[in-house]
Chains A and B, each alone.
Chain A
Amino acid sequence: MSAILVIEQLLNGLQSGIMLFLMAAGLTLVFGVMGLINLAHGSLYMVGAFAAAAASAATGSFFLGLVAALIGAAAAGAIIELTVLRRLYARDHLDQVLATFALILIFSEGTRWVFGSFPLFLDIPDLLSGPVTLPGGIQYPLYRLTLILIGLAVAAGLFWLIARTRVGIRIRAGENDREMIAALGVDIDRLYTFVFALGAALAGLAGALVGAIQSVQVGMGEPVLILAFVVIVIGGIGSIKGALIGALLVGLTDTLGSIFLPQLFRLFMDPAAASQIGASLASMAIYVLMAAVLIWKPTGLFGAKA
């Protein structure tokens, strides 16, 4: 096994991890600020991917597609926040789970109704296609490298937004004491809609970016949603930093596990059985990771509140 393969897989893990972060960041913000568990976050990811696929098919431009993904997902997020979700902030988690489960059904079947059951394709733009040679002579797809850079840039922007801007101060204050900041004259309803639309736009962006390397289809959001749940459980609910670390851990564990676990078992088993057992274990590796973190820290790595 060469060093090149290891570095390639590390980059792949980083890429899937940073895309997971875009999903998990919105989820953890919404939970931290509004106390809402939103299963329909995966639907917003799907909305972003479909908006991008439809817009880039109509205009021929991938970048207009990305803009459409951001706007489409943010709009869908704002609409469900205004019509449904704000009635749920004061309810218990069971009601939130059920209502957002209902939203998944509506979004998924609605999308199937409009676009049909066949997957759409979103092509990587010519500008970003093809491999790039990294230092050390490693060939790596330019598009995946771009995803890593976009993800890191968004992460940095998000940290800046939360830590340095007035909106960020309000978001953090809203997490701690909503009555107090409402009393200080902050329009809490508008703040909540903004936070929700922001999270939705991040999910939509991730959907569009990943949609170009996978296919754009109904139901694409839920597996990612569940991975994002694993991420925020590992990182600690409400913590953006935890979401970033958790996402990278999950991305790397998933990618490296599916490559190296079968090879590990091949050392002392026959190849067929080794790849069988290795693949089974690799598909469960991130959940084992989650269980291990929970035994060690029941509220996640960076979760202070119980």
Chain B
Amino acid sequence: MTRESYVNLACLAGLILIPLWAHVSDEPFTITLATRAVILALAALGLNIALGIGGLVSFGHAVFFGIGGYAMGILAHHAQNYTPIAEWPFLIEGTKSMPIIWLLATVVSGIVAFLIGLLSLRTTGVYFIMITLAFGQMLFFFSISWAEYGGEDGLAIYVRNGFPGLNTLVPLQFYGLCLAILLLALAFQWRLAKSPFGLALNAARQVPNRVKAVGLNPFKLQLVAFTISGMITGLAGALFADLNRFVSPTMFSWQLSGEFIVFIIIGGTARLFGPVIGAALFVIIEHVLGGISDYWHIWFGFLLLGIVLFGKGGVIGLLAGGAKAHD
């Protein structure tokens, strides 16, 4: 086993043991914090497939997070008000069932990611960063002006949605559900990175011309990666909305897109557990610094600046060494 595997195992143990400990010592708030960290980690993990493996610096991944959130919000909103979503061409009703919500969240995020990717991937480098950012703003403003679903105020959902066989209102059970999804996503990413597709995608980041020369199309590889990436972040958005029982345009905000990138960099780019460690650290820092000062973002800003300027490879690079370079 490499040192990175030990770090990953320790991280996994923490994800399982800390909430169990909090459950035993009756501290539900700690479980809520852990759930938040796990969901944000899932969102950043989605981005890491595009950014870490594919080298696509998307500054608009909050788009998919927001779409997932609104998929949950709209379905549950109609279900709690007993109004149909559409009556024509056939009756579509809302639902409070998580699996259906997740399906809708991932499918719609995937379609939007495909469309945004189709346009944005025509460009590279700094153009790509700016264009994904602009698409993020486009959906942000759209959600603000969409008065039917709360506009700027967002939608409140009074009761958390259900999952067959679980009581999702119990914090530990909802946490377990989110953790299970995160672990599945981690397993998926681990397989993906080793698959022929993952290897080709990695190569397309490093030397696109050679990838072309062996007969593969970098654009197609990147488009598929971007779509998968958006779907995972969309699923995280649906879970996040369910955690807060609230969805609003802030889920589309560009700050959130920036924070997803920050999670990956703090943890370690293209590392399997990078987003998990990054998101967990962010939630801890937010909680600790937020308790000390209202202006904690300043100190977070300085910390981030220090990591970018002087730290290479993030926390995992620090603990496990052998930074994997990103281009």
Contact = CB atoms under 8 A, between A and B. Distances in A.
Contacts of B51: 94
Contacts of A106: 297-298, 301-302, 305
Contacts of A237: 126-127
B147 A276 contact: yes
A102 B302 contact: yes
Interface stretch (A14-22, A70-78, A130-138, A291-299): A291-299
Interface stretch (A1-9, A141-149, A151-159, A278-286): A278-286
Contact of A113 (B134, B141, B254, B298): B298
Contacts of A102: 300-302, 304-305, 308
B301 A233 contact: no
Contacts of A276: 145, 147-148
Interface in A259-291: 276, 279-280, 283-284, 287, 290-291
A37 B147 CA distance: 35
Interface stretch (A50-58, A180-188, A194-202, A224-232): A224-232
Question: Chain A, interface size: which category?
Answer: 35 or more
A103 B305 contact: yes
Contacts of B280: none
A233 B122 CA distance: 13
B122 A294 contact: yes
B308 A298 contact: no
B74 interface: no
B258 to A, nearest CB: 5
B112 interface: no
Interface string A161-193: 000000000000000000000000000000000
B131 A109 contact: no
B238 interface: no
B308 A109 contact: no
A302 interface: no
Contacts of B327: 92
Given A106-B301, A294-B119, A31 B145 contact: no
A51 B119 CA distance: 40
Contacts of A115: none
B287 interface: no
Given A98-B308, A237-B126, A109 B133 contact: no
A108 B298 CA distance: 8
Interface in B143-183: 144-148
Interface string A74-111: 00000000001001100011110111011111101110
Chain B contact residues (Cβ within 8 angstroms of A): what range?
Answer: 35 or more
B10 interface: no
B315 interface: no
Contacts of B326: 92, 94
A241 interface: no
A136 B301 CA distance: 53
A299 B137 CA distance: 20
Which of A94, A233, A237, A276 has the most C-beta atoms of chain B within 10 angstroms of its own C-beta? Answer: A94
Given A105-B298, A109-B298, A299-B127, A283 B134 contact: no
B190 interface: no
A278 B262 CA distance: 36
Contacts of B148: 276
A287 B295 contact: no
B146 to A, nearest CB: 6
Contact of A283 (B57, B119, B122, B145): B145
Contacts of A284: 138, 141-142
Given A108-B297, A229-B130, A287 B135 contact: yes
Given A93-B126, A101-B258, A298-B123, A287 B309 contact: no
Given A98-B265, A105-B300, A283-B141, 16 more contacts: A99-B305, A102-B300, A109-B296, A109-B298, A113-B298, A223-B137, A226-B134, A229-B134, A276-B147, A279-B145, A280-B146, A283-B145, A284-B138, A284-B141, A287-B134, A294-B123
Nearest 9 A/B pairs, CB to CB: A105-B301, A287-B138, A283-B141, A106-B301, A102-B304, A102-B305, A109-B298, A109-B297, A229-B130
22 contacts: A37-B126, A37-B130, A84-B309, A92-B327, A94-B326, A98-B265, A99-B308, A101-B262, A110-B298, A113-B295, A222-B254, A226-B134, A229-B130, A229-B133, A229-B134, A276-B145, A280-B145, A280-B146, A283-B144, A287-B138, A298-B123, A299-B123
Interface of A: 31, 37, 84, 87-88, 92-95, 97-99, 101-106, 108-110, 112-113, 222-223, 226, 229-230, 232-233, 237, 276, 279-280, 283-284, 287, 290-291, 294-295, 298-300, 306
